[in-house]
A and B are shown apart, each in its own frame.
Chain A
Amino acid sequence: MTKQDRLKHAAPFADLRDLVACPVCDTLARLSSVPLGGQGRCKRCHHVLAMPRSNAMTRIVMLAVTGAILMVGAVSFPFLTIETHGLRQQASVLDTILAYSDGLMVPLSLAMAALIVVLPLMRLVAILYTVAPMALGHHPIRGATQAFRLAETLKPWAMAEVFIVGVAVALVKVGGLATLTIGPAFWAFAALVLITVVNDNLMSSLIIWKTLEARGSI
């Protein structure tokens, strides 16, 4: 369906714009009734529909930029070092990704790279692409809807925070056997996880979708 077709379909139903249906239980609700700083939940299933926050878009942009920079740091700095009986081994995030790189397990290495680094980064970039122009007061750029749909699809697959818990478990397993040094990349990664969590709590996707449509992106 072309853009024109979609516009034509949308035209007689412009008044439906303020109405949303809960993605979980299909119950109708109005987004505009949710006050700034409040939380709009579905009356029936209590799914959180909207959490409007002041300056949300500017804050999302700043957090996403910070996250992307931290990811670069997390990948390039030393991550962990162990030392025992004069033997020393340093591992970067890249080394952990390459752990599965021999023989049959190569696809798992690719999956690890995607889950830990590529998808979280792609998601941050997609969020920036969608929100940054609007935060600066412009219309959304071409492809903003596709970018934001990508960001939404990637959400469960960006597993940086799962990885950090995995690191904690691994450290305890190794801790008794050798001396451990935690490198700057670890802290960068931990900060990245924190920022992603804060960002996800700030970002109310139904509101962003509505804003995208209101600012003329179809």
Chain B
Amino acid sequence: MTTNLQTQPDPRVPAPAPALEVRGLVKHYPGVKALDGVDLVVRQHEVLGLAGENGAGKSTLLKALVGLVRPDGGEIWVRGEKVRLRSVVDAADHGIGMVFQEQSLVPNLTAAENIVLGSEGPGVRRGIYRWNTMRRLAQEQLDKIGSHIDPLARTDTLSFADRQMVEIAKVLRIEERTSHPPVIILDEPTSVLESKEIETLFTQVRRLREFASVVFVSHRLDEVLDVCDRVAVLRGGRSVGEVPSADAAPAELHRMMIGSTGSDDHYHGAVAERPDEARRPRLVVRGLSGKSFRDVDLDVHAGEIVGIVGVHGSGREDVCRALFGAEPTTAGEVVLDGEKLDLSGTRAACAAGVGYVPAERKTEGMVGPMSVADNMTLTKQQSRCTGPLVRPRKQATLVDRWIERLSIRTPHRGTAIQRLSGGNQQKVVLARWLVAGDVRLLLLDHPTRGLDIGARSEVYRLMRELAGSGVATVLLADSLEEAIGMSDRIIVMSDGRATTEVAAPPGGKPTPLDLVKEMV
């Protein structure tokens, strides 16, 4: 096992300058240190894997490398030369290009146009298209990667895998801007590919190594180890080590990604006493299938917290949304307290006492400029209305009671929710499902995302209280530790199926490693 931190290049060794080097990169966002002194070396003609959990700082680092994020501190060196990257074009001038996770092609243009977009060169003269030249330019790029796509096909008629080839061909255009081998960054390139397509992609990646350096990011550790020469691991915005992929196993890599366990397990204890009635499950899901998940079975008892874990693309988010009627399902049955749950829309779910806290708080969870009071009574209108009329005093009394009960720190119930801290915002979002007192099932999609430790533990306490009062909870946790600490049982999902169930009672918690074995 090798976790040596090779951050300080020895100036006396006349080795060829690395293609790309990052030294002590720092980037702050309000409340979060996305990058906290990252060091990274990409050697010439190597495929470097980059691994890290959600929130480890991978995407911020990549964005900094292509000039989309300006770091607050630290240095980026390209072939032994310190650079400042202000834009994508800037980065391209230095030979750095990125294939974005969400494909960045214009769907209604031809593949050729996408490949040369922004640097048409001789393809456009005096604003007039030379389709022949354009096609030739694009063909040259496609030939480099041995792709047989018709350059004049409309991009949205191509398969996803072909579009990815177009993207790689497009990124390789940066070779025209610099005389040096380029650095190509592939951000999660395999997340939507079939296994055969992945093989093709890997062949391409290995081919790229002939004339470029590659940074390869993926959540699937086996892939990273398969295609990369070396793997660098990020955790909490820091580099925690590098491993030559020849002698590393996925589990070992994962251990580096999640770090030592038990460091922030302050929420493990203090399990609320629950009435240990012999219960029938409150929520019964049988054979639920949708676009990204198949045959999911799930039982949740009253007062139980069931965590669903899985890597990116496992389909767990979609299952959660489907239970709330926000994602179409193709088959399966959901029964809540003995009654069939109507999944045709969110209204039916709300009426049946299902609550949902979405992962994207700012865009899906709350109406930013609206007051705390209005946000809290957004769903359960009847709790503040008489017929169609809003009763301000009824609302005020109710909201004030919940503000006190959840100790939401807000100047006033009329304050716009966007002025509150993240933790208090999240409490208001949760309170929305509580004000009517009819919530039976809570679906929590990353409820602690973006919260600091203090706010987290308050949300944890609230979750426990709710469970204690008999609410069934499905939790998609932000980290494995959180899932383990909070859940009574954990369902592992992989490739759209619920593969394993792990019991996690207080005192008998599994370790993250136990779960990782099931996930990868």
Q: Are both chains from one complex?
A: no
The residues of A with any CB-CB pair to B shorter than 8 Å are none
The residues of B with any CB-CB pair to A shorter than 8 Å are none
